[in-house]
Chains A and B, each alone.
Chain A
Amino acid sequence: MNKRGTILIAIILVILTATFAYGYFPNQDLEGTIKVSGAWALYPMMVEWAEEFQRIHPKVRIDLSAGGAGKGMTDVLGGLVDMGMISREIYPEEIQRGALGVAVCKDAVVPTVNKGNPVLNDLLTRGIKRRTFMDVWVSGNVTSWGEVVGRPEVKAKIHVYTRSDACGAAETWANYLRCRQEGLLGVGVYGDPGLAEAVKNDPFGIGFNNLNYAYDNSTGKPIEGLMVAPIDLNANGQVDENENFYDTKAKLLEAIATGVYPSPPARDLYVVAKGEFKGLAKEFVKWILTGGQQHVSQTGYIQLSKEKLAEELKKLS
């Protein structure tokens, strides 16, 4: 063959090989940056997923920051990030502005008290009814620890804490108490770790946390100084055998997975995009719903059911 023909055939062969290789090994070529921000609740899980995804696709970089569910929503609707982490239900107003949510896993908000609480033993054996929580956080009718456990001689005042930043944890807890975050009374502390710190340092404090901030990851028990207040689900004035699952994170996770722990305050955790997930973000979320699910339990969250995962995957196409 003449020289020109040879070069032409060589070029065609190279192009064919490259296309073939690209199609055959799609993973090798994923590259770019994904920006994620939002809920404290989903942050530890997203850190795991990001690490794993970056390990599989070394050319991908994931920029992750917390700041609360509200910030995540504002950031994603404002185009500042590719996806937001949201730890509450998505409002109709947000859907109107283009928010598309995909559920990725599940966790819960738990009520917390200080380990040195004067009536701790009563709290652990009797639990606290939902009605009492509402009286503490919403109506303000219950103000002393004695009223919570039915011992009027204890006059110690309850120091109520809530979240100051717009977040999913407070909104979820408020939904359980049939109101919105703005309806919660109490001193507003910034951030989930901040709330845990506040209750940890105040013997008369009561607050709520995402379960991954209330429990120590290494020991599986509530963090030092904090105790999780059992919810008296059937309101019979005591913590029954089937209501007693707060000692370790594993037991609590099982209770949430089986639905014994109510939803709210347990809830699905979402990632949200504006309009639709595209490009690198879409690949990431696809992976989260398939390969990423194996990391969910060991990080302290609950996997979604297979049917739910299939449903969510459909939202991506």
Chain B
Amino acid sequence: MLTATIFSSLIVFLIAFVLLQKGSLILTTKPLSELLFSSSWYPWRGEFGFYPFIVGTFWVTALAMILAIPVCLLSAIYLAEYASKSVREIMKPLVDLLAGIPSVVYGLWGVLAIVPLIRDYLAPLAGAATTGYSVLAGGMVLAIMVFPIIISVSEEVFRAVPYEVREASLALGATRWQTVKHVVTRKALPGVVAAVILGFSRAFGETMAVLMVVGNVPKAPSSVFDPAYPLPALIANSYGEMMSIPLYDSALLLAALILLLVVFSFSVAARVILMRIERGLR
């Protein structure tokens, strides 16, 4: 059992090590500052600037979380606190069903439904012109993909709050909503943060669905209606030319390493926040 645990915890380092080994070729040929901050991506000319991809990844993921968190939290609160048992028994499986839908199906649906929605309705509403393939499309599809995770875990967390806490608050004269807002949420906060982190992790890595709707233009976006090019999409799209252009395989493995580092640092930051909250609540 100990071996199994050690094995699973060490895999991350194993992956990072392999990526670093193969990616080191490009690290030795090109200065790190150029790799991380240059915006020019012309592999045939030997120019590998990852900046647009890093920024693109952040834009799409951040937008997805901004769209997902409020909806998920409110849904979880409703399912845990207000819904009757029969409603809950119908809603929960429906939400969980979303988790089972393959990424490609989301991508196809995004192309057929979300992209025209943005192009024909949302963008003109905001006064922007766009093809529809944009950060917003990627964010919306991603948000829907992380719904089941965040709602599921948050709902469990809310239900795990001991009933005595609610009773105490109600006894003091608080309304149901005040109870939820001030008491239950405070107790459930660490769990909810953990749920959001899980959601973020899925959002960072989703490849197929995002690359079908996000536009894939290697230029840092300046508005949600601009196309973007997240790192997973870069790797999936360019895998084909890996063997054909010198240094390209090394560059793509470096992209994978950067993605790993971003997710890793995010996890660490989230852990720190979690610890602070738990300490604060004690």
Interface, chain A (partner B; CB < 8 A): 67-74, 77-78, 91, 93-94, 97, 157, 159, 161, 164-167, 180, 182-183, 185-190, 194, 197-198, 201-202, 205
Q: Which of B229, B237, B246 contacts A166 (CB 8 A)?
A: B237
A selection of 17 A-B contacts at a CB cut-off of 8 Å is A71-B240, A73-B243, A74-B241, A74-B244, A157-B129, A164-B237, A166-B239, A167-B240, A180-B44, A182-B41, A188-B229, A189-B133, A190-B211, A190-B212, A190-B216, A198-B131, A201-B116
Interface, chain B (partner A; CB < 8 A): 41-44, 111, 115-116, 119, 129, 131-133, 211-212, 215-217, 227, 229, 233, 236-246
User: 3 tightest A-B contacts by CB?
Assistant: A70-B240, A188-B216, A166-B240
A70 with B241, Cβ < 8 A, contacts A157-B129, A194-B111 known: yes
Q: Which B residues touch A185, using CB under 8 A? A: 217
A186 with B119, Cβ < 8 A, contacts A67-B240, A68-B240, A205-B131 known: no
B45 to chain A, nearest CB (A): 8
Q: Which B residues touch A165, using CB under 8 A? A: 236-237, 240
Nearest residue (CB) in B for A165 is: B237
**Alpha-carbon distance A127/B129, docked complex (angstroms):** 26
B113 to chain A, nearest CB (A): 11
Q: Which A residues touch B236, using CB under 8 A? A: 165
**Alpha-carbon distance A71/B235, docked complex (angstroms):** 12
Q: Which B residues touch A180, using CB under 8 A? A: 44
B222 to chain A, nearest CB (A): 15
B148 to chain A, nearest CB (A): 25
**Alpha-carbon distance A67/B227, docked complex (angstroms):** 22
State whether B217 touches A187 (Cβ < 8 A): yes
Q: Which A residues touch B132, using CB under 8 A? A: 202
State whether B237 touches A97 (Cβ < 8 A): no
A194 with B212, Cβ < 8 A, contacts A70-B241, A157-B129, A182-B44 known: yes
Q: Which A residues touch B111, using CB under 8 A? A: 194, 197-198
State whether A93 touches B244 (Cβ < 8 A): yes
A293 to chain B, nearest CB (A): 28
**Alpha-carbon distance A155/B239, docked complex (angstroms):** 38
B138 to chain A, nearest CB (A): 12
**Alpha-carbon distance A202/B240, docked complex (angstroms):** 28
B74 to chain A, nearest CB (A): 33
State whether A188 touches B215 (Cβ < 8 A): yes
